[in-house]
Chains A and B, each alone.
Chain A
């Protein structure tokens, strides 16, 4: 990247300044009623060159809308977004030329044609010169381990192969900044690990990455800083270790048992000293995580509430980024 790029604007790779996005929707045929949905409220942050910045939050929190404003696909209702010093509303082509986008999920590829056809096509759409295109497509296929299947139709690919092809497509213009929107969503653990390894390699190559994810361990492992977004607003922005400070005063009581229902979960939420409750109510076993400043002192109360259930194990743990996230989201 040229030094002039780094000095343009604020000298930051990405700047979001008081971004708002409001969607208008209409309902009904004869009596049409208009409603407004505020998807993003006053979101501000800056991302340094070479940084891997995370945005985490539950579904519908505004992560994807924020990414789409930063990638020029949406115009903010108010506020300003700049990427590489270029205005995302006005300097659309300049921004698009320099960024790569990988949206999660299985869509986003032409499945009836081959990986090579997909990559060649997007290379042309990004204005990659013909003499560079073939070399880059080959390099990307090698990097993603797709060379052997490069001429096969994408519809015959596994989920992991498609995800790797997504990443290759997002890198076809050798972007300075890469936006990764939930790149590991729906992938099995092995492929997720592989995807995270590739993301680390991109950072080592000097790329700037903005990553949205549902998975806190992923944000913890990869990101230098993380913004937690809830109902369209940033409720915390810090390094993963800084975010864990939000729950430094608490411990996590993890209960594994059988016969635990929503009713018991609701009772735990009513306990004053329990700051957050998360529950995975599986069929074979249920796992509860209670954040509390009382630590082991609460075990008696836990056993009382679960007297009609079978308790397999109770552990007191140090809080993780996920616990910090849950506390921020639920507070």
Chain B
């Protein structure tokens, strides 16, 4: 980091810094967002619609983690897994059944949920990750269908007679829960969102993330460079399942129920749309997409019947017209807007393009050349 003053900067420095941006995060933006998120419920709850807004924010936090983890698998690593909702359901069912029917402390069963989900993901991953594209689609959809079948027709403890789990005990927040259930839930969801987002961001920027991107973009080359694709895919699969399962568990305890309707194709498509419309394979895309789609869901409440139609058309047109989604476009626009001060920031962004965002650089494809100043 000491050489940042040298002019022109060496490509190695740029790559080093881009490979480890957590050493120089944008503290200003992150901390102001954090403060906003901490204060928001206190402000919102003073207004009439505040309760609903806080509920919406909790939903946003949880679903955005699911979208982000799925994006790691689908967008970053290029594994066409459609098992993410099933994994979400595994997390929800594990903690739901244990706390409701077996009288476990909800916190304890919640802690078990991501572990079981990760184990389930490894079981699906072992046969399917050795295969490619189309086969993975089939096997993961198969898992989804089989699980739906099981929780519908399985033992009564699990199926709830076909109605799912109703009356799952809520998390006990101790003295905090005395004034409202909503506020502690909000902070728990926020904390979970922050931790998960940071972990995913870290994976994105770490050498592991670079290896994922390399595998997706040129499998042969990446393997030639000594990347063990099976192990790295399995790690990623388990990693994303961990947070997905935890999100499922949190959602179940927050809502107090989980039902078979989670397996509906429309739920799967909704999360997929969050990723695709927000920005397939980019870090911020799924977060943006979740916010957009949840907002849209509320905005288009009157058009309920047309929502799926609009969603399908939006998915198809984004895939055809802007395959990298809205986030890269937004970010580029923002960067151009700030372009008056092309200093440190700008350089490290160039380096990052070189390393990670290969999917996006294929559009403005000169990432590699622009960081070769000698």
Asked if A and B are interacting partners, one says no
- Using a CB–CB cutoff of 8 Å, the interface residues on chain B facing chain A are none
